[in-house]
Amino acid sequence: MSFEACAALVEKADPERFRAIMAAPVDARHILFPLYAFNVEVIRAPWVTKEPMIAEMRLQWWRDALEEIATRGSVRRHEVVDALAEVLDAQGAQTLDAMIAARRWDIYSDPFADWDDFDAYIEKTSGLLMTTAARLLDGSDDAVVADFAYASGVANLLRALPVLLDRQRKPLPDTSPDAISQLAVRALSRLQRARAGKARLAQRAGAGLLIGHAARPILQKAKTDPQAVLEGRLELTPLRQSLRLAHVSLRGWWV
């Protein structure tokens, strides 16, 4: 039942990603749901408490679980860990450990040192998760996936920007409209580079990129109307989001 528990967790915590995974082939879902249920647990660990030490302990619990999976020793019993252990290899466990290490930034209110520091965070969170999913699906070209994951990660962070600012976080080195627009331009450039390399990506691996189906229209809006980011007007309507997912599912993640 661990797979079903992972699907239920994603459906409750992240309905948009749940719908995207359900649009993937059935065999791909058995990899994607455990990975993204794990991601839900890791993302929310820093936010369920105001005590940094407790948040650190929660993240360390998941790092220890990944070490057990990587060494193929005795793995702790947990619905998400059980499912993850069935699909994750040692390389994947080590990669996801690096993702958790980057997520420690979420615990504190320290700003990024500069845009390079910000980029590293996006690449180690959104990037490492998506490249792991694609590799497990079909040994994909990491460069293509990494570019797409960067664009998707930036889009998701911009969507969450008003909430993060309200919680006294500093999610961007510069939150001026011009800086936001320029960030969207850079993310769109990475997205275009991924689209140009689509022929190098196996079709099955591309199923893992359905997660980022909304990235392009969101980044385009952020580019032309950065004030919409700050005012929380970046989300697609439910109808447009459904149409976008259907369009991407039929034609491919690069549209």
Global pTM reads: 0.94
Per the structure, the count of domains in the chain is 2
CA distance 129 to 95: 8
Mean pLDDT of 176-187: 98
- 7 vs 140 pLDDT, higher one: 7
**Confidence class for position 183, pLDDT limits 50, 70, 90:** very high
Q: Note whether 249 and 135 are same-domain residues.
A: yes
Interval 105-123 mean pLDDT: 95
Q: What is the mean pLDDT of residues 206-218?
A: 94
How confident is residue 111, by pLDDT bands cut at 50, 70 and 90? very high
User: 31 and 115: one domain?
Assistant: no
What is the distance between the alpha carbons of residues 186 and 68, in angstroms, rounded to a whole number?
38
| Same domain, residue pair 213 and 96 | no
pLDDT mean over 142-147? 93
**Of 108, 139, 160, which residue constitutes the final position of a domain?**
108
How many Å from the N-terminal Cα to the C-terminal Cα in the chain?
A: 35
User: What span, in angstroms and rounded, lies between the C-alpha atoms of 78 and 82?
Assistant: 6
Whether residue 251 sits in one domain with residue 142 = yes
What's the rounded mean pLDDT across residues 135-149? 89
Q: Does residue 162 share a domain with residue 200?
A: yes
- Domain-terminating residue out of 108, 139, 170: 108
Q: Are residues 179 and 81 in the same domain?
A: no
Name the residue among 136, 134, 156 with its Cα closest to residue 146: 134
Interval 167-185 mean pLDDT: 96
Asked if residue 227 and residue 164 are part of one domain, the reply reads yes
Residue 34 in this model has a pLDDT that exceeds 90:
yes
**pLDDT above 80 for 141:** no
Based on the fold, state whether residues 154 and 164 are members of the same structural domain.
Answer: yes
The alpha carbon dihedral of 202, 205, 207, 212 has a sign of: negative
Q: pLDDT value at position 26?
A: 93
Distance CA 239, CA 100 (A): 34
Q: Mind spelling out the 3-state secondary structure of 169-226?
A: CCCCCCCCHHHHHHHHHHHHHHHHHHHHCHHHCCHHHHHHHHHHCCHHHHHHHHHHCH
Residues 93, 136 within the same domain: no
Q: What is the pLDDT of residue 49?
A: 87
Is the per-residue pLDDT at 252 higher than 70?
yes
Instruction: Tell me the per-residue pLDDT of 44-97, one tens digit each, with 9 for 90 and over.
Output: 999 988 899 999 999 999 999 999 999 988 899 999 999 999 999 999 999 999
Q: Are residues 133 and 253 in the same domain?
A: yes
For 33, the domain range is: 1-108
Final residue of a structural domain among 93, 108, 123: 108
Residue 47 tokens, joined: 């936010």
90 and 115 fall within a common domain: no
Say if residue 71 is in the same domain as residue 124.
no
User: Residue 53 carries which DSSP code?
Assistant: H
pLDDT of residue 1: 65
Determine the average pLDDT of the residues in 119-141.
93
pLDDT at 142: 85
